[in-house]
Structure 1
C-alpha cells in the first residue's frame, strides 16, 4: 500500500493538491497509479480540495484521527513548529501518510512543499 499524506493551508485548490502529489511522486520516480490512497489529519477533514483531489484520482481519502497522528509523529522526517502547534505533530503530511499506510510503514523521503500544500509518500511495511 502506498499513501500520499497531504497537509495544506486553508482554502487551497484541488489543482494545488494534485500538483503537490504529482511533484512528490515525481521526486521518487513513481506514477500516480502507484498510489492506494490519500491521507490527511482530522483537522483537515473540512478541506474540500483534498477530497476533490481524491475523487479526481479515484482514490479514498483516509482521515487520520489525532491519536494515530500523534503515534506516527515520532517517525516523521520533517519538523515544523507551526504544524506542531496546530496539529500536535511536526509534519501533518508525513504523520498522516505513515499512520494510513499501517504498522511498519516507511516514508520514501521528506515531505515535498509546493506552495500552500505539503505531500509525503509512505509505503506499508509489508510492501518492502
Structure 2
C-alpha cells in the first residue's frame, strides 16, 4: 500500500499541496493521503484527497513523535518530535514495516511538503 504523507501550514492552498505531491512522485497508485490529526479537516487537503480519489488518514501527533525520518527540520522536531511531518505521517499510515520511496518534497511557496511511503498497511 502506497501512502502520501503531507505536512503543511494551516493556510495552505490546493495548488501548493498538488505541487508538493507532484514533486514527491505524484498520486498514481496512492491508497490514502495522511497528515497529523489536527490538520486532517483542512479544506485544501480534503479537496486534494477528493481529486486523488483516496481517503485521508489522520495520524495523532503522539504517533509521529520519535519516528526516524531522513529529513530533519529543527522547528518540526521541537513541535512534533520527528524531523518531518510528511515523512512520519506517510510511514505511520503505511504500516509498521513501511519504507519511504520518496523523501520530503517542498512546494515552491514552502507551505506544503509531501513524502510517499510503501508498506503492508496497519
Greater fraction of residues in strand: 2
Q: Which residue of 2 aligns with 1:42?
A: 37
Give distance in 2, aligned partners of 1:46 and 1:86. 20
SS at match of 1:36: strand
Moved over 4 A (4+): none
Give distance in 2, aligned partners of 1:12 and 1:66. 19
Q: Which residue of 1 aligns with 2:24?
A: 24
What TM-score, normalized by structure 1, do the two folds share?
0.84
Q: Which residue of 1 aligns with 2:79?
A: 86
Match of 1:65 among 39, 60, 81: 60
Greater fraction of residues in helix: 1
What TM-score, normalized by structure 2, do the two folds share?
0.88
Residue segments in structure 2 that go unaligned for 5+ positions in a row: none
How many residue pairs end up in the alignment? 119
Give distance in 2, aligned partners of 1:87 and 1:44. 13
Give distance in 1, aligned partners of 2:59 and 2:114. 15
8 Å CA contact 1:77–1:109 kept in 2: the answer is: no
Q: Which residue of 2 aligns with 1:13?
A: 13
TM-superposition CA deviations, 1:23-43 (whole Å, max 9, x none) = 211xxxxx5221111000123
What is the root-mean-square deviation in Å for CA atoms of aligned residues? Answer: 1.7
